[in-house]
Amino acid sequence: MLNIISHEIIPETHRRGYQTAATTGLMIGVILMMMLDVTLG
């Protein structure tokens, strides 16, 4: 699901072969935000 969102909303990150890095960075960022939200309340 995040892969589709990343590709459709932020298409500039998927140019020049950076698809994997862009999607991985987005996934790590979302997971980190969720962890901070749960731990800090």
Assign 35 to helix, strand or coil. Answer: helix
Give residue 33's pLDDT. 95
Give residue 5's pLDDT. 76
Q: What is the pLDDT along the chain (41 residues), one digit of tens a residue?
A: 777 777 787 777 777 888 888 888 888 999 999 999 999 98
Give residue 26's pLDDT. 85
Give residue 34's pLDDT. 96
Q: What would the two tokens of residue 2 be?
A: 């995040």
Q: What would the two tokens of residue 23 be?
A: 């999607």
pTM listed for this prediction: 0.68
Q: Residue 22 and residue 37: Cα distance in Å, rounded?
A: 22
Percent helix, percent strand, percent coil in the chain, to nearest 5: 85, 0, 15
Long-range contacts of 30-39 (CB under 8 A, 24+ apart): 30/2
Give residue 3's pLDDT. 72
- Domain chopping of the chain, boundaries: 1-40
